[in-house]
Structure 1
């Protein structure tokens, strides 16, 4: 049975730096999208909310229209009763009957007056609601237009980057699956806790990438020796020498170009 080849520290460092370059490229793609997905989602919610409001306002108008028709029917019925009572008054036998019918006529007249007042209020409500509907429609058209513009921007970016992003995510997972679990956990933990998600950085002008703290010459020599995984004592990032970083950047750029 063939003995499994042992992975050297240098190979581990190269794999870690490659993984960092892949994940950084994914970050770049997502940064290009920026807040667009959230903006689109917010606009979709706003347009849906305005649509719901328009539906409610239309429903309110229908209800008010029904109320007006009801009051008009009530007026017709009251006028019919008044006519009937006026005829009855012509045939009363005494003042008591006359006064009782007069009170009925007076009650119906008050009903008509109240109904007419309500109808006037209902028509005022209709006008007010129509104004709100017009303003809501205008706002919805503006937001819909803005949504379509933002959705177009997002779709354009997605069309340009979606395929590459999916390929990069798969490549990132492949790298992690082929690495020691403890290294993947360390890489992930560092990446989550440092600025810009940079967990693995190269030495630049005697300091770790993205840091102003100088790395002592002895430590720089150890990093260049690629015999063990060394982290920056200030940021916690994993450090690689610049030569290794340049070699891996060139290799990964060629890979990205083919995606």
Structure 2
């Protein structure tokens, strides 16, 4: 629709509030969608982290198995040497040779004891790691299920809201053509500087929407007369009366229901 020079202040206020309702609906859609992708990404990172942890634990188990094999080989070598030295003890010709072989046997026996001690320690570590692996796998399974659910939820929201969002963006641009450029620029500026993107708010219980600052009765009457654009002196928001806001909300709810 082309802009008309005969547009009244009330019509401008209605168009501005309609524009605010449309843009707020777009904000709602983006806020809902904006949280879910972050949640999905966090879950993906957590699942990847758990997968990496499992890989490291598996590598650690393999290393412990190799250590146990190495110690078992050492024990076998020590037993072989004990057997060899024990056989040599039967044919010693002097005390010096006897003492030397006896010390070698004792040393190999200590090597066996130490190796067995290490093997037991490695086995205990393996059991601990297996318990951690079991817990990690359970946690990974639970987080993957949660991730699948959240991805499904996100896909559903995207499928459900993408069409509505595009329709609302188009409608927002249409409504901007009904308002003079100066007011649109003011609206965009206020919207970018205030909480929740609310640039146009109704007067509720004697104060501007979302504010605790009371508006003087005379100003409230001027707002209700819809004869000029009035802004809140504290927040800079454009103010509309509650009756107008209610009427436009009902109108826009019907519009939103079509998307």
Give the TM-score normalised by structure 2.
0.76
The answer to whether the 8 A contact 1:18-1:252 is kept is yes
The residue number in structure 1 matching 2:191 is 188
State the alpha-carbon separation in 2 of the partners of residues 217 and 200 from structure 1: 20
Partner of 1:131: 131
Q: CA deviation at 1:33?
A: 5.2
Name structure 1 gaps, 5 residues minimum: none
Whole-Å Cα distance in 2 between the matches of residues 14 and 225 of structure 1? 10
Match of 1:17 in 2: 17
Q: Any gaps of 5 or more consecutive residues in structure 2?
A: none
How far residue 238 of structure 1 moved from its aligned partner, in angstroms, is: 0.4
SS in 1 for 2:201: strand
User: How many residue pairs end up in the alignment?
Assistant: 252
Structure 1 residue 59 displacement after superposition: 1.5
The more displaced of 171-180 and 234-243 is 171-180
Match of 2:61 in 1: 61
Measure, in 1, the Cα distance between the counterparts of 2:102 and 2:65: 33
Asked if 2 retains the 8 angstrom alpha-carbon contact of 1:20 and 1:200, the reply is: yes
Any residues of structure 2 matched to 1:209-224 within 5 Å, and which?
Answer: 209-210=209-210, 213-217=214-218, 220-221=221-222, 224=225
- Contact 2:223/2:239 (<8 A) preserved: no
Q: 1:146, 1:124 → 2: CA distance?
A: 33
Aligned ranges 1:1-259 → 2 under 5 Å: 10=9, 13=13, 15-30=15-30, 32=32, 35-169=35-169, 172=172, 179-180=181-182, 182-190=185-193, 192-193=194-195, 196-203=196-203, 208-210=208-210, 213-217=214-218, 220-221=221-222, 224-227=225-228, 229-241=229-241, 245=245, 249=249, 252-253=252-253, 256-259=256-259
* Alignment root-mean-square deviation, CA: 3.6
* TM-score for the superposition, normalised by structure 1: 0.76
**Secondary structure of the structure 2 residue equivalent to 1:236:** coil
CA distance in 1, matches of 2:251, 2:73: 85
Deviations along 1:89-141, one digit per CA (max 9) or x if unpaired, are: 34433221221122112111111111011111111211122122222222222
2: CA distance between counterparts of 1:234 and 1:117?
A: 77
Quote the offset at 1:69 in angstroms. Answer: 0.6
2: CA distance between counterparts of 1:250 and 1:167? 19
Q: Is the 8 A contact 1:22 1:172 kept in 2?
A: yes
User: CA–CA distance in 2 between the matches of 1:56 and 1:27?
Assistant: 43
Q: Answer whether contact 1:26 1:168 (CA < 8 A) is retained.
A: yes
Following superposition, the deviation at residue 53 of structure 1 comes to 2.2
Distance in 1 (CA, whole Å) between partners of 2:134 and 2:86 is 48
